[in-house]
């Protein structure tokens, strides 16, 4: 599943980033494989999204979120 496919309030674990250039940027910001993320906000027209990573929020374009492979850890709004 891709990060761009998560629903509001859903939590997931990062598995892999498909784009090497993007992966380097995200790794420097703390978005590493194995890290848990939570989809916290979605812009009114669906792009960008805000995810919680550790103790901070990160905003991503949907194009970039579609490059991040995740594994859901719970159903939305559980």
Average pLDDT of the segment spanning 18-25:
91
Domains of the chain, by residue range, sit at 3-72
CA dihedral 5, 54, 22, 73 (to 10 degrees): -30
* pLDDT number for residue 54: 86
**Each residue of 38-61: pLDDT tens digit?**
999 999 988 899 999 988 999 999
* pLDDT number for residue 14: 95
Mean pLDDT computed over every residue of the chain: 90
Cα–Cα distance measured from residue 2 to residue 12, given in angstroms and rounded to the nearest whole number: 10
Q: Using CA of residue 48, residue 24, residue 17, residue 21, what is the dihedral sign?
A: positive
> 3-72 domain in CATH 2.30.30.90?
yes
Q: Is the pLDDT of residue 5 over 60?
A: yes
pTM, whole model, 2 decimals? 0.84
Task: For residue 35, give the H/E element and its range.
Answer: none
């Amino acid at each position: 599943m891709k990060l761009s496919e998560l629903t509001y309030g859903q939590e997931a674990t990062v598995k892999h980033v498909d784009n090497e250039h993007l992966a380097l940027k995200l790794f420097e910001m703390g978005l590493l494989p194995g890290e848990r993320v939570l989809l916290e906000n979605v812009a009114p027209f669906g792009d960008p999204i805000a995810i919680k990573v550790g103790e901070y929020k990160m905003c991503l374009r949907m194009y970039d979120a579609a490059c991040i492979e995740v594994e859901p850890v719970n159903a939305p709004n559980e």
